[in-house]
Structure 1
Amino acid sequence: MIYPTRRAVTVMAAGVPVALLFGVLTPAGWLAGPIWIAAVALFAALDALIAGSRAGLSVAPPEPVRPAVGRPGLVGLRLRFAPAGPAPKAVEGALSGEARLGLDGAPQRSMFQAREARLTFPFTPHRRGAATIDALWVRWRGPLGLVWKQKVFDLGLATRVLTDFQGVRDEAVRLFARDALFGAKTQLEIGEGSEFQALRDYQPGMDRRAIDWKQSARHAALLAKEFRTERNHNVILALDCGRAACEPVGGMPRVDRFIHAGLLLACACLRSGDRTGVFAFDSQPRVSTGAVGGINAFKTLQTLAGRIDYSTNEANYTLAMATLSGQLQRRSLIVVFTDFTDSTAAELMIESLGRLLRRHLVLFVVLRDEELEDLTAAEPTTPEDVSRAVVAGALLREREAVVARLRRMGAHIVDAPARQIGPAVLNAYLDLKRRDLL
């Protein structure tokens, strides 16, 4: 395709008043208009001839793309002009693909060097599933800047948006390296559990409650008990993948944020010697691994967590929690990743969690609704703004009432922004271990 540039349109329009003036002043001046149009068209045709042939432009096979939901990436494409004939100095390109890929719609520009150019297109996937990169639009201008030449390449590159396992690993390495720097690993192994390890001389700064008074009296010296962290706890990640959990928050579905935070917690649990399992549910249980441990446990959890699909069904808390309770043979820490949108769903959820709290320790994880908070905090300028703020405030109060009720029942709560949910859950788990509540 060949079409005029803005410069060509501007030049053509600039000659109209001049041609009109000549036509008014002289009898033969009416010829100025056709002459001007023919001259601009002639120069445009000349510009198209020396701009480089569309047939000489080719695109190299695309580089492999491994997108992960919520993780920015780049699609790189190399363009090449044939050795024979002229070639442009620069080229612009645009890429089209599946909406779930989150391709940046802005055109990209690149300079030709040795008759080759490279275009990179940023993208941030916001949903898992199969996706395709459909076509590449490329255009370049002639030396005079009067025409665009455009060529379309059908790519048909199939890919699949997966869970961001690399992001989970990077976050885990960052957090664990930070803890190791300040000696948190040693503190978690010895001195914070409930299993007796040994007696040692009391040192200033040690917990006075650890002093063994009987042994101190027998040996005529202050002796303190040293404990070892208990291992082999069961930690079950209960992931809600129902309709409400599949809605986006911060440009990414809640369930994907649940999966990322859950895998980060699973990595920490397996690292500390605990056993971890995944239990996903919507209207019925979908994935259940049971508590697993060992070298290959994390790979197993990764594989099964990646199979959790989006759902349009409402979450059935009664069936899910009853099924999970029947599968657990010993006291466990159950980390429930979920969200609620109405009081009816919240009431059913509270009733189901109440049964689990009789035997198990429950950590309830919700994402802070920043959109409602922004609507409440925004300065109203119209009556519609006031109405939105009132409704948002009512929803937030209902949410706080449900969270407060869960706390009174004995559940531990993690209520954090979506982008900080992973470290918040990990810190809550470590705090429970330090307090010997598992």
Structure 2
Amino acid sequence: MKKLFSRFYSDLFLTRRFFTSIVIAVVLFMLSFFFPWLGVVPHVFFGAFLVVVATEIAMLYLKSNGIFARRHAPERLSNNDDNQLGIYVENRYAFTVKMGVIDEIPFQFQKRDVWFKTTLQPGQNKLLNYTLKPLKRGEYSFGNVIVYVGSSLGLINRRYTVQQAQNLPVYPSFLQMRKYELMAISNRITEFGIKKIRRIGHSMEFEQVKNYVPGDDYRAINWKATARQGSLMTNSYTDERSQHVYCVIDKSRVMKMPFEGLSLLDYAINASLILLNVAMLKEDKAGLITIAEKKGTVVPADKRPTQLNKIMEALYKEKTRYLETDMGLLYTTIRGTLRQRSLVIFFTNFESMSGLNRQLPYLKRIAKFHLLLVVFFENTELKRLSEEPAKDVEEIYIKTIAEKMAFDKKLIVKELTKHGIQTILSAPQNLNVNTINAYLEIKAKQKI
């Protein structure tokens, strides 16, 4: 009995209308001392108030399961994307209820406004939708769904606590991956600002000698076979397939820097997942290497259907390290893992020429054996500072330093290009489009 009363008391909430009625009753009793003609009015009002409160308590508490609620959530959330969630609520009372719904979302979002108000007729149900945008990979813990229910009388509310604690993993941006995948399949990839590259020439992978037919390239005529057969014969070539594409992700301290709430490492991880998926759609083999002061994950290139899930699981677990990248270890890892000439896309970051000079000898060695594409990040905050007009001496100093650092980024691109290393200097928010553009251009020009 004590437990039942405690539960009743803990789930009972008094509304603003309840306290307003109490204040009115107190005022009436006070006025009755000065104005005797009020008579029994205060007593009648207070008695009616108690009757209404008792009636509403009976309406809300006589039915033990008057409200049904359940959270609708996907099995996993996509990092840096708007993920759709919902709360299904159903009114099982025989009267119309006013409802307030709270979802206890993970603390990482730092949001306290996931609160919904709605009205449900008897037997009616609704799905209350909302979105969450995580900015960090990992496991997110959701709490309970809490529903506050009141009748049209509006003096009290009853609280329902739906025990629905659950943990949802946040994976790299698979929603963006699917979006680019659909664009690639439907040949509408240019809608995302991705260039359509004209394919030049043909590959040199010989297939067979066949009879010449009008329309064949006369430069491919095989004159020796023609002399033997007595009719024109031509060499047939096939498009090169199953080239190896590796994304190498630097997860050292240079990738810890945040932009718009997301670290550079997460930008690189999202871009790698999207790019490798597009590469597999183009019949290439996709592989992954992560590196810091120690060797991280190595996923050998493959194009089997399970490869993408293997890459996604590997990227989900990656975290930023706090030491510099061991470039010698990266070189030996690439030489030991990549058995044929491959496209190596290295996601890293340089803030100064001295940072580049420490890594350049190793990058040049890698570029001797593979087609190396270095992707690093434009500091958008420095760019904004350099473009703003200066108003005093301090701002002139800040603007000068910002312009100097932005100019260093351009010098880094020039230095890498001088040594035959392809380079992308990209703002973090444009990374997906820029890397796919570069890959499609390399693929079309058959540089691998």
**TM-score above 0.5:** yes
CA–CA distance in structure 2, aligned partners of residues 347 and 5 of structure 1:
68
**Cα deviation, residue 428, structure 1:** 0.8
Q: CA deviation at 1:202?
A: 7.5
- Aligned twin of 1:158: 167
Partner residue in 2 for 1:97: 105
Is 1:167–2:189 an aligned residue pair?
Answer: no
Q: Using the alignment, how far apart are the partners of 2:213 and 2:342 within structure 1?
A: 32
Paired position in structure 2 for 1:130: 139
Is 1:429 aligned to 2:435, yes or no? no
Q: Which residue of 1 aligns with 2:115?
A: 107
Q: 1:273 to 1:78 in 2, by over 3 A?
A: closer
Query: Please, which moves more after superposition, 122-131 or 50-59?
Result: 50-59
Following superposition, the deviation at residue 139 of structure 1 comes to 2.8
Deviation at residue 279 of structure 1 after TM alignment: 0.4
2:76 is the counterpart of 1:69: no
1:399-431 CA distances to partner (integer Å, 9 max, x unpaired)?
A: 232223222222212233434322321221121
The runs of 5 or more residues in structure 1 that have no matched partner are: none
Q: Which residue of 2 aligns with 1:301?
A: 311
In 2, distance between residues paired with 1:301 and 1:105? 36
Asked if residue 311 in structure 1 is aligned to residue 317 in structure 2, the reply is no
| Structure 2: gaps (5+ residues) | 1-10, 228-232
Q: Residues 287 and 180 of structure 1: is their aligned pair in 2 closer, same or farther, counting only changes over 3 Å? A: closer
What one-letter code is carried by the residue in structure 1 that aligns with 2:106?
Answer: E
2:325 matches 1:325: no
| Change over 3 Å in CA distance of 1:384–1:63 after alignment to 2 | farther
Query: 2:156, 2:375 → 1: CA distance?
Result: 58
- The answer (yes or no) to whether the contact 1:131–1:161 under 8 Å persists in 2 is yes
CA-to-aligned-CA distance 1:315-352 (integer Å, 9 cap, x gap): 41414422333313333221011224565544333343
Which string of whole-angstrom CA distances, capped at 9 and with x for unpartnered residues, describes residues 230-262 of structure 1? 334332210122334244433433333323322
Output the CA distance in 2 between the equivalents of 1:379 and 1:180: 38
- How many residues are matched? 417
Q: Which amino acid aligns with 1:138?
A: V
> Does the aligned pair in 2 maintain the 1:78–1:116 contact within 8 Å?
no
Report if the CA contact (8 A) 1:171-1:264 is conserved. yes
Q: Which amino acid letter does the alignment assign opposite residue 46 of structure 1?
A: V
Measured in 2, the distance between the counterparts of 1:398 and 1:36 equals: 81
Q: Alpha-carbon deviations, 1:117-141, whole Å to 9, x = none?
A: 4433321222221221113333345
Residues 6-44 of structure 1: per-residue CA shift (max 9 Å, x gap):
66778888999x99xx98xx9826999xx9899689749
Which segment drifts farther, 278-287 or 3-12? Answer: 3-12
SS in 2 for 1:125: coil
- Written as runs of structure 1 = structure 2, the 5 A alignment for 1:201-350 is 228-306=238-316, 308-327=317-336, 328-341=338-351, 344-350=354-360
Q: Which residue of 1 aligns with 2:3?
A: none
- Does residue 410 in structure 1 map to residue 420 in structure 2? yes
The CA deviation at 1:108 is: 1.9
- 1:66-95 C-alpha deviation (Å, 9 max, x unpaired): 222223223333334554xx6553322222
Amino acid of the residue matched to residue 340 of structure 2? R
Residue 329 to residue 212, structure 1, CA distance change in 2 (3 Å) = closer
Q: Secondary structure at the match of 1:46?
A: helix
1:50 is aligned to 2:56: yes
What percentage of residue pairs aligned between the two structures are identical?
17
CA distance in 2, matches of 1:29, 1:342: 85
- 1:136 partner amino acid: V
What is the CA–CA distance in structure 2 between the aligned matches of 1:13 and 1:403, rounded to whole Å? 73
